[in-house]
């Protein structure tokens, strides 16, 4: 996913010809490996010594879904649209071992690079990699998922059909009765108001956008089934439990929520 704020050196480059005439580049600096799609945008990152950890702020924020649905066995199934460096895939694969993960990626070379350079786990009963267009996969599918994570951008930080009302409606139809959609939006390339309006329309207003990360990313959440309703005290307790279990620290995210308009009366509801 694009994050233009990271500064890096390029000691080596791996390039592969895309079907869309683009290059994939891998760079490494100070123990962190980065993925680029032939431009300055950072499409993903992995700390080489901790390949399952979430290196970029926005990936950590997307996992705030685990605070909003804090049951230890949630999600039992997840759909990830956009593979990148497989950061979210590896985190869920490691820390939600009962979850069945389906990853949809449109470019075969991204899958190849994720396997060769970013420790993408082998496919098994828990992990399925599908080569397909994410919007088409959701539109044609029949399987329901507890969690849908959307993080798909091209080399110019464009989302295409992954930020449209029909796509969000199809995502809602593919969610289970207690599901969450999590979408990574990018506010530095354009405002996210129109995107949020589409998500809110698709989910009957049951959506929220967290305050922007330092990188400019905005993470949006939308729900089906039981209402999401947690006090900041409850979220902090869940964040401490998650940190103890996974080493993922979301207390700073809760702190940003606390100082925003998103928690009237000290409670998040949607």
Q: Active-site residues: which are they?
A: 151
Q: The tokens of 104 are what?
A: 């949809």
- Quote the CA–CA distance of 173 and 139 in Å, as a whole number: 9
| DSSP-derived 3-state class of residue 92 | helix
| DSSP-derived 3-state class of residue 236 | helix
- Quote the CA–CA distance of 88 and 99 in Å, as a whole number: 13
Which residues is 17 bridged to in the sheet?
A: 23
Other Cβ atoms closer than 10 A to 264: 8
74: Cα within 13 Å, side-chain hemisphere: 18
């Amino acid at each position: 996913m694009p994050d233009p704020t990271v500064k890096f050196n390029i000691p080596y480059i791996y390039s592969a010809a895309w079907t869309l005439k683009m290059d994939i580049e891998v760079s490494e600096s100070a123990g962190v490996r980065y993925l680029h799609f032939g431009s300055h945008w950072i499409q993903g990152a992995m700390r080489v010594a901790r390949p399952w950890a979430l290196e970029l702020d926005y990936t950590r924020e997307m996992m705030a879904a685990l605070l909003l649905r804090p049951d230890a066995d949630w999600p039992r199934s997840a759909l990830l649209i956009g593979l990148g460096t497989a950061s979210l895939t590896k985190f869920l694969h490691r820390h939600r071992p009962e979850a069945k993960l389906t990853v949809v990626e449109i470019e075969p070379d991204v899958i190849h690079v994720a396997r060769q350079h970013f420790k993408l786990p082998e496919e098994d009963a828990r992990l399925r990699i599908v080569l397909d267009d994410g919007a088409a996969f959701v539109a044609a599918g029949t399987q329901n998922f507890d969690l849908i994570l959307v993080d798909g951008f091209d080399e110019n930080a464009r989302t295409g059909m992954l930020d449209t009302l029909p796509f969000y409606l199809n995502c809602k139809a593919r969610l289970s009765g207690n599901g969450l959609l999590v979408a990574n939006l990018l506010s530095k390339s354009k405002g996210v108001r129109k995107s949020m309006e589409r998500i809110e329309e698709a989910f009957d207003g049951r959506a929220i956008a967290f305050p922007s990360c330092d990188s400019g990313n905005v993470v949006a959440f939308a729900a089906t089934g039981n209402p999401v309703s947690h006090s900041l005290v409850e979220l902090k307790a869940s964040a401490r439990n998650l940190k103890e279990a996974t080493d993922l620290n979301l207390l700073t995210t809760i702190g940003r929520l606390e100082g925003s308009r998103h928690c009237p009366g000290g409670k998040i509801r949607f």
